[in-house]
């Protein structure tokens, strides 16, 4: 009995000593490597849609030029100043010009309406970037609405231009990340996460 008690006592002392030694804990999720937020206000909408608006305006201008050429050629042909073997090129100018002008006008109008709706809701996207993915907190009119956790592999594509990182979870939705409020080191880190080519620093 004495030997058994001694063994129990030794075991109890060993357990106390091991409890006194701090045990390793499972790694906890750390702070985000990069944190930023983007307010979808009028200035941001203008910066994002600048290229698209320019393309739409060019389409409208091309359409107008083609329609004017159609009118001029049609009048000249009707007066007999020039003879056209057929009306093929007139049809091309008429229908092509109408299509270019209509597409440009429709996209400008629909894009403007979509921007107004978004601005009315006062969208703010807050991003937290981690090595494997990001957390997006969505705010509307100052109130937190939703939280999305996405891996970078979930995005259909990720692009970079001079002012933004553009994250596409699908063909319609875009999450813009404003590079103007990020440091060079943060931009370089995000390029690594997004698997985008590194850019040379300006000398």
> What is the layout of strands, in order, in the sheet containing 175-178?
157-160, 164-168, 175-178
Query: Which of 163, 125, 180 lies closest to 47, judged by CA?
Result: 163
Residue 150 is assigned to a structural domain of this protein? yes
Categorize the per-residue pLDDT at 92 as very low, low, confident or very high, splitting at 50, 70 and 90. Answer: confident
Residue 105 is assigned to a structural domain of this protein? yes
Residue 188 is assigned to a structural domain of this protein? yes
Residue 12 is assigned to a structural domain of this protein? no
Residue 144 is assigned to a structural domain of this protein? yes
Residue 15 is assigned to a structural domain of this protein? no
How far is residue 97's CA from residue 93's CA, in Å, rounded to a whole number? 6
Identify the domain containing residue 123 by its residue range: 34-194
Residue 49 is assigned to a structural domain of this protein? yes
How far is residue 155's CA from residue 175's CA, in Å, rounded to a whole number? 10
What are the structure tokens assigned to 44, written together?
């941001």
Q: Is 107 exposed, middle or buried (0-12, 13-18, 19+ CB in 10 A)?
A: middle
Residue 87 is assigned to a structural domain of this protein? yes
pLDDT tens, position by position, 66-76: 999 989 888 88
pTM, two decimals, is 0.53
Listed range (27-41, 75-89, 147-161) with the worst mean pLDDT: 27-41
Average pLDDT value over all residues in the chain: 77
Query: Which of 171, 173, 172, 129 lies closest to 151, judged by CA?
Result: 129
Could you give the number of structural domains in the chain?
1
**Strands in 96-169 per DSSP E:** 123-129, 133-140, 143-151, 157-160, 164-168
pLDDT tens, position by position, 112-155: 555 555 554 568 889 999 998 999 998 887 788 899 999 999 99
């Amino acid at each position: 009995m004495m030997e058994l008690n001694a063994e129990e006592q030794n075991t109890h002392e060993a357990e106390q000593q091991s409890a006194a030694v701090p045990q390793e804990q499972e790694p906890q999720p750390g702070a985000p490597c990069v944190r930023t937020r983007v307010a979808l206000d009028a200035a941001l909408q203008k910066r994002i849609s600048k290229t698209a608006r320019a393309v739409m305006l060019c389409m409208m201008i091309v359409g107008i030029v083609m329609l004017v050429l159609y009118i001029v050629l049609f009048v000249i042909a009707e007066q007999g100043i020039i003879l056209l073997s057929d009306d093929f090129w007139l049809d091309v100018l008429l229908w092509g010009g109408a299509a270019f002008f209509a597409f440009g006008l429709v996209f400008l109008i629909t894009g403007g309406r979509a921007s107004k709706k978004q601005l009315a809701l006062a969208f703010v996207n807050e991003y937290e970037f981690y090595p494997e993915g990001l957390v997006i907190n969505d705010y509307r009119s100052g109130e937190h609405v939703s939280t999305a956790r996405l891996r970078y592999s979930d995005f259909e594509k990720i692009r970079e231009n001079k002012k933004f990182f553009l994250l596409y979870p699908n063909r319609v939705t875009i999450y813009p990340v404003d590079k103007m409020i990020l440091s060079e080191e943060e931009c370089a880190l995000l390029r690594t996460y997004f698997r985008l080519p590194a850019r040379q620093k300006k000398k």
